[in-house]
Structure 1
Amino acid sequence: MIPAVNDDLQNDFEIEQEPSKTFKLNILSNRIIGYTDGLDAVKQAAYLILNIERYEYIIYSWNYGIETRDLFGQPISYVLPELKRRITEALTQDDRIESVDAFLFEVAKGKVHVTFTIHSIFGSFDEEKVVNI
């Protein structure tokens, strides 16, 4: 005999998006000045992700930040696609960021300057990163 299932759970719930409200950082003065939300919060999160070396600080999860130090001294044919992959991987760890594309690389004087477009649930914006090679 198969037991009857009494389904008391109803599918009458809604999935809500958590607010992305966070402290607003003033990068130039190294101060916190109020709060930010929406696209500005995603821009700030992208800035922090791209400027924190992954695995360097124990305060951050191993899923946070980007690895760039081991690219130093590598051939440019390895650095460019690897940098694209690492930037995309690091940024898409954030739930609010949907994709990263439109990569443009400039190589000069031992540095790679990369610009790209970040598409988030709040809108799109351009970002850049400079890496020593």
Structure 2
Amino acid sequence: MAVLPEGVGLDVTLHHVEKPTRTFLIDWSSKQVSGMDEGLPAMRQAVEIILQNERFRWQIYSSDFGSELENLVGEERDYIESELPRRIEDAFSGDSRILTVENFVFTEKIPGELSCSFDVKTVYGTLTEEVSV
């Protein structure tokens, strides 16, 4: 007597299929959809959206989406410089298209506001991003 239906066994091979990155592009100045794109432009938008959305704030996103940067505001500079890279890497850890985050450079363009620029290496190329706390 067979336990599994005929033709079903444990020797089935699973194939991983990459999902396309084709997405609607947002024109941030007009706050309207400005077309569609894929590849590096779509990744740039994904990176921006991850950085702009605070984790756990919006129920529409899962708990592993977004960043945790807001509570760094007002902290000591040394603490921010040590913690910010870890939090940015953690924010991108859920996206398999992002390979690494590196080259963190901290500057204080405005007194009391620390800016950090960094490179995001993706499967489509490298982006340079900046956040301020």
Bin for the TM-score computed over the shorter chain: 0.7 to 0.9
Q: Match of 1:106?
A: 107
Any residues of structure 2 matched to 1:32-43 within 5 Å, and which? 32-43=33-44
How far off is 1:7 after superposition? 5.6
How far off is 1:92 after superposition? 2.5
The more displaced of 93-102 and 53-62 is 53-62
Q: Match of 2:5?
A: none
Q: Match of 1:120?
A: 122
1:69 and 1:122 mapped to 2: Cα distance? 29
Q: Match of 1:29?
A: 30
Q: Match of 2:61?
A: 60
What is the CA RMSD across the aligned residues, in angstroms? 1.8
| Per-residue Cα deviation, 1:44-85 (whole angstroms, up to 9, x for no partner) | 000011111111112111111111221122211111111111
How far off is 1:27 after superposition? 0.7
Give the TM-score taking structure 1 as reference length.
Answer: 0.84
Percent identity, please: 32
Q: Match of 1:3?
A: none
1:88 and 1:9 mapped to 2: Cα distance? 37
Give the TM-score taking structure 2 as reference length.
Answer: 0.84
Query: For residue 23 of structure 1, what is the amino acid of its counterpart?
Result: F
1:28 and 1:7 mapped to 2: Cα distance? 55
- 5+ residue gaps in structure 1? 1-5
